[in-house]
Copies of this chain bind each other. A is one copy, B any other.
């Protein structure tokens, strides 16, 4: 299987098994390619915090899931070791948040991935950086 098709299959398999991402938070996987992923989430009532804006935890979770797809896309199991996020603009009810995650470095077992979260006006809502560590196993049978 070529790398592009493998990454897509990894993405679909992970997404199907990830109840937190799919149901609890309600994010869509837009694409999963080698070292890259895109996701999408519409801000709903269930995402609102006490300021009636999207809880930063869900903006983080959206970026973190994007990172997870990107860093598992090579079909080596990988987990998050550390992440940082800068919150630049609040997200409001009804906003459509889109992410783009890109592998910056993959060296041995460790990788670094940057994820940008944008709203429907193209404004940057958050910048996220995640550091991954590979662990034994694969997402799909190789």
Residues of A within 8 A of B (CB): 13-15, 17-21, 23-25, 45-52, 54-58, 60-62, 64-65, 68, 77, 79-90, 104-105, 107, 110, 112, 114, 116, 124, 127, 129, 131, 139
Contacts and interface: CB of A to CB of B under 8 A. Distances in A.
A20 to B, nearest CB: 4
List the 7 closest A-B pairs by CB distance, nearest first: A57-B61, A20-B55, A84-B84, A17-B50, A18-B50, A14-B50, A24-B46
Nearest to A105: B124
24 contacts: A18-B55, A19-B46, A19-B48, A20-B47, A20-B48, A20-B55, A21-B49, A51-B77, A55-B65, A56-B83, A61-B61, A81-B86, A82-B84, A82-B85, A82-B131, A83-B87, A84-B84, A86-B112, A86-B131, A88-B107, A88-B110, A88-B112, A112-B127, A114-B114
Contacts of A19: 45-46, 48-49
B129 A84 contact: yes
A121 to B, nearest CB: 13
B87 A79 contact: yes
Contacts of A62: 57
A60 B20 CA distance: 13
Nearest to A68: B49
A131 B83 CA distance: 12
A55 B19 CA distance: 9
